[in-house]
Chain A
Amino acid sequence: EPEVTQTPSHQVTQMGQEVILRCVPISNHLYFYWYRQILGQKVEFLVSFYNNEISEKSEIFDDQFSVERPDGSNFTLKIRSTKLEDSAMYFCASSVLANEQYFGPGTRLTVT
């Protein structure tokens, strides 16, 4: 069964550093998403991406964040200058139709 994959599974970085989280969505999916889950809190929507552009973003997704689909298979989330409060589990998701989203295993980001 096809699935969403994410790398790395755990990333440790120092405050102020740039990080790139990578995702390979399911191959025939057209919509791509990033969510995050701060430890002990809800899963929160960050951004959705369709047809090579952002279709929706949350208030969390400020200028420090960017997304890119650099080739036909990868979907990346970049955080330009990480803060302590960016420490969270980041989930990538993809869907054929909007809303029926399939999630990857997540990348745990730890900012020290």
Chain B
Amino acid sequence: AQSVTQPDIHITVSEGASLELRCNYSYGATPYLFWYVQSPGQGLQLLLKYFSGDTLVQGIKGFEAEFKRSQSSFNLRKPSVHWSDAAEYFCAVGAENTDKLIFGTGTRLQVFP
């Protein structure tokens, strides 16, 4: 069955520190991978996506993610976190043969000044 695991429920970092949010997926077909961010009271904003090609993808707000097929992972990174990055981050997987996205449980990021 398809699934997405985000092992970290809550992460706290200091402003200016680097960030890595983990995502592992289980999917039989070639996955399409996404990261979304949800600020309090807001909808889900698409940060970046991977469909094929270069396994390192760049997104908005200075985020990047790397697809590693051998590890079934798609971790999100940012070299220097800003206080405005505090939000909930969701990894999601889709595929060619389905319309739906499967979401992980999310990681809540807290940023200290």
Contact = CB atoms under 8 A, between A and B. Distances in A.
Contact of A99 (B45, B90, B101, B104): B101
A55 interface: yes
B75 interface: no
A98 B43 contact: no
Contacts of B90: 43
B13 to A, nearest CB: 23
A102 B99 contact: no
Nearest to A99: B94
- Which of the four size classes fits the interface of chain B? 20 to 34
Contacts of A33: 99-100
Interface string A34-58: 0100000111110010100001101
A45 B43 contact: no
A103 interface: yes
Contacts of A99: 32, 51, 94-95, 99, 101
A4 B49 contact: no
Interface centre among B36, B51, B90, B100 (most CB of A within 10 A): B100
A43 B103 contact: yes
Contacts of B106: 42
Contact of B45 (A42, A56, A103): A103
Interface in A60-100: 91, 93, 98-100
A52 B100 CA distance: 17
A45 to B, nearest CB: 4
A55 B97 CA distance: 11
Interface of A: 4, 6, 31, 33, 35, 41-45, 48, 50, 55-56, 58, 91, 93, 98-106
Given A105-B42, A106-B43, 19 more contacts: A4-B43, A35-B101, A42-B105, A43-B92, A43-B101, A43-B103, A44-B103, A45-B100, A48-B100, A50-B99, A56-B98, A56-B99, A98-B94, A98-B99, A99-B32, A99-B95, A103-B36, A105-B41, A105-B43
